[in-house]
A and B are shown apart, each in its own frame.
Chain A
């Protein structure tokens, strides 16, 4: 069973749409959760950490459900510049390495 699973997409949405990505993780002892964004052939860039209470940063909202081992990312009012691959990332404990999902590709279309 893969450690972090994501729907690879692609999700093709018009500008202004709301889009949601989901991710599941297999290790119930995981401690930290993140969404990173990766543009083609570039490095992963931290989008946001995901906290148990859920958190919002502008148009982006992340939720964590520990009981279901499920993480989500909601993007409201999509912009063309949001087109990228969104990586769900988990950390089993503070000093352990990040475990990446394969990513979900988003294309926002004018």
Chain B
């Protein structure tokens, strides 16, 4: 079964450092997303990306964040100058024009996440 992959699984960084989180979406998917989940809280949307540009972003996605699709497979989230409150699980998700099981075209499939710890 096709799946979204993410690297690294765990990243520890010091406050003020830059991190890049990497994702490989499902191969024929066209819509890409980043979400985050702070421990004990709900999953929150950060940004969506389609046709090589940001289509929507949340209030969380401020100037310290950026996304890029540097080649045909990778989708990255960069956090410049990390803060303690950036510590969270970061999930990448993708969707195509049809669900994997032939279901709703709006189904999003999530990668296993990167646990970011800022010290």
A95 and B108 contacting across the interface, CB-CB below 8 Å: no
Cα-based distance from A18 to B56 in the complex (angstroms): 40
B113 and A102 contacting across the interface, CB-CB below 8 Å: no
- Interface check B91, CB cutoff 8 A: yes
Number of contact residues on B: which range applies?
Answer: 20 to 34
11 contacts between A and B (CB under 8 A): A32-B106, A34-B104, A42-B113, A43-B91, A43-B110, A87-B42, A96-B48, A97-B45, A98-B33, A100-B44, A102-B41
A residues neighboring B (CB under 8 Å): 31-32, 34, 41-46, 48-49, 51, 87, 91, 94-103
B residues neighboring A (CB under 8 Å): 31, 33, 35, 41-45, 48, 50, 55-56, 58, 89, 91, 93, 99, 103-113, 115
Task: Name the 9 nearest CB pairs between A and B, nearest first.
Answer: A97-B45, A49-B104, A43-B110, A100-B43, A32-B106, A102-B42, A100-B42, A49-B103, A43-B113
